[in-house]
Structure 1
């Protein structure tokens, strides 16, 4: 006759209860983190769907490239283009911060730009940037009960008419580079950015210039030039970027894009990417 032996149940000790509770808590946090990460991935997909395809630039200009490399899943940088009659408006924006806060300002600025040109009927870059500044500042501060947000952006904004071969530019905290016949010309950034500022009256100026066949223009955020790296772990900086652009100006733009990425990755090495990166190059 077989005898059934019951195993004695060992009571859970206080330390065992703590371990079980901790394991459950870790599992819950991991589930929440995965859910948040999935939401971020979806937000990143939505943001990329808003950005114009590189082919739009290539169809309008003689040639073009876009480098867009967020630091996080979503980006505070954006690039934008809009053709209205014979005029082509295009821009690169560098919003406050990166990640979700930057992306919110990014999407708002992207939507407002087209509305200003189509509905308000403005065509002068400085006037467009001035109204964008007012609208963006109002959007983020109108309903605050106290204080003010510091949300805003630096922007390089261009208007080109390819039939008349003339261009204009307004820099709100960002410059515009032109490489013509191997020489680099820098159109200086303006003194004021878009959005929050301590001064009541801002200065936005339109700079006009003629276009020549073969001109190459570069719009960029500060993510590329501010990247730390190299032997002494320093910033890539603006002057090194200028020298690089002039050294590759005889290349096709797709080759320029590859060279810019190669030099950036070589400079960064094992360092962490410090900011969002956006560089747009176009050729007349």
Structure 2
């Protein structure tokens, strides 16, 4: 596996990664800089710590160093010649560490030099990468949004490099806002829709509004920027789940125009919502917010339709029943339940839609 392939695997599963790269035989390779820090300063510190970690008397395999306020560097030894470094705003690297161990146990860990063998990007690939950079600029730090919860898991995987599924959020003194959404289309088409939606959300959001009013404001904003009439099925379509979490009371206030909410409390209760894909004005006229008071051990779960609609190697869809089976079996969600069920069902079959899902426990 080439270094870039390894990095892509990590970035698609851990959205709080800022800078990342390899040190191969004393040289930085595949460095990807996303943080607001000076890249030369980061590289200098990376190399100084690398040489400390290479001390043969200490036999270090991995370590964590605080670089600045809310900036942490994680190192892990991949082989005698290769180290991986990750800069993140989250100092909890446990999941990342075990995921790397999982990758290394499942692949040939011989790393080849990309510089001589990697083919230049085609014009289409360059456009896709540009779209990804723009979309990522609007994505919030999901690790920060999940901080108020005792347990949480978030999964995001577009069908292509970019897609129509997206996430958005805001933190206020009393509330945590988290949104997942599904815009019409895949690839660049879907990404353009998601960028438009996230931009409008930033404009119309008010901290004291109810979730259903945010959805209404979003759709008004979409109508305002489009000449087409959305009631005729044209333009940017978007189904979203808006969650407003009251931190003190552990109450979830939510609203949606098409995505379902699942409550896990002595079983699973599904709260279905009406989709606005074909008749948005009729749905939005009657849309309301609901509240769920989360008791100890209660959790909620929501996802886009890409998860149950994934077609497996047998040619059939996973469906809601297959999606919820691991929750019923394990009585809870962890990184190894729904994601594993999705990957097992998918097998070698291509991913058929963008996938995003969210699990939150008070």
1:220 Cα deviation after fit: 0.8
Structural RMSD (CA) = 2.6
1:32 Cα deviation after fit: 11
Unaligned runs of 5+ in 1: 1-30
Residues 276 and 46 of structure 1, relative CA distance in 2, 3 Å threshold: same
Count residues with an aligned counterpart. 242
Residues 209 and 229 of structure 1, relative CA distance in 2, 3 Å threshold: same
Give the TM-score taking structure 1 as reference length: 0.76
Give the Cα–Cα distance (whole angstroms) in 1 for the partners of residues 218 and 208 of structure 2. 11
In structure 2, the residue corresponding to 1:94 is in which secondary structure? strand
Mapped pair 1:155 → 2:243: no
Give the Cα–Cα distance (whole angstroms) in 2 for the partners of residues 173 and 32 of structure 1. 41
**Residues 248-272 of structure 1: CA deviation (Å, up to 9, x unaligned):** 334xx5xx22332222122112222
**Residues 53-72 of structure 1: CA deviation (Å, up to 9, x unaligned):** 33113322112121111111
Aligned to 1:37: 125
Answer 1 or 2: higher relative contact order, Cα 8 Å, separation at least 6.
1
Q: Is the 8 A contact 1:192 1:203 kept in 2?
A: no
Q: Is the 8 A contact 2:313 2:349 kept in 1?
A: no
**Residues 204-263 of structure 1: CA deviation (Å, up to 9, x unaligned):** 1211221212221112111111011153x210001221222222334xx5xx22332222
In structure 2, the residue corresponding to 1:155 is in which secondary structure? strand
Give the Cα–Cα distance (whole angstroms) in 2 for the partners of residues 75 and 208 of structure 1. 30
In structure 2, the residue corresponding to 1:36 is in which secondary structure? helix
Query: How do 1:167-206 residues align onto structure 2 when only pairs under 5 Å count?
Result: 167-181=252-266, 183-193=267-277, 197=280, 202-206=285-289
Aligned to 1:269: 347
1:200 Cα deviation after fit: 9.1
Aligned to 2:137: 49
Aligned to 2:300: 217
Give the TM-score taking structure 2 as reference length: 0.61
Give the Cα–Cα distance (whole angstroms) in 2 for the partners of residues 53 and 226 of structure 1. 27
Mapped pair 1:79 → 2:167: yes
Give the Cα–Cα distance (whole angstroms) in 2 for the partners of residues 259 and 94 of structure 1. 22
Mapped pair 1:242 → 2:324: yes
Residues 93 and 261 of structure 1, relative CA distance in 2, 3 Å threshold: same
Q: Is the 8 A contact 2:259 2:273 kept in 1?
A: yes
Give the Cα–Cα distance (whole angstroms) in 2 for the partners of residues 114 and 249 of structure 1. 36
Mapped pair 1:61 → 2:143: no
Q: Is the 8 A contact 2:275 2:283 kept in 1?
A: no
**Residues 2-52 of structure 1: CA deviation (Å, up to 9, x unaligned):** xxxxxxxxxxxxxxxxxxxxxxxxxxxxx9980221121122133123222
Answer with 68-77 or 53-62: which moved more: 53-62
From 207, 219, 224, give the equivalent of 1:133. Answer: 219
In structure 2, the residue corresponding to 1:123 is in which secondary structure? coil
Residues 263 and 32 of structure 1, relative CA distance in 2, 3 Å threshold: same
Unaligned runs of 5+ in 2: 1-118
Give the Cα–Cα distance (whole angstroms) in 1 for the partners of residues 346 and 283 of structure 2. 39
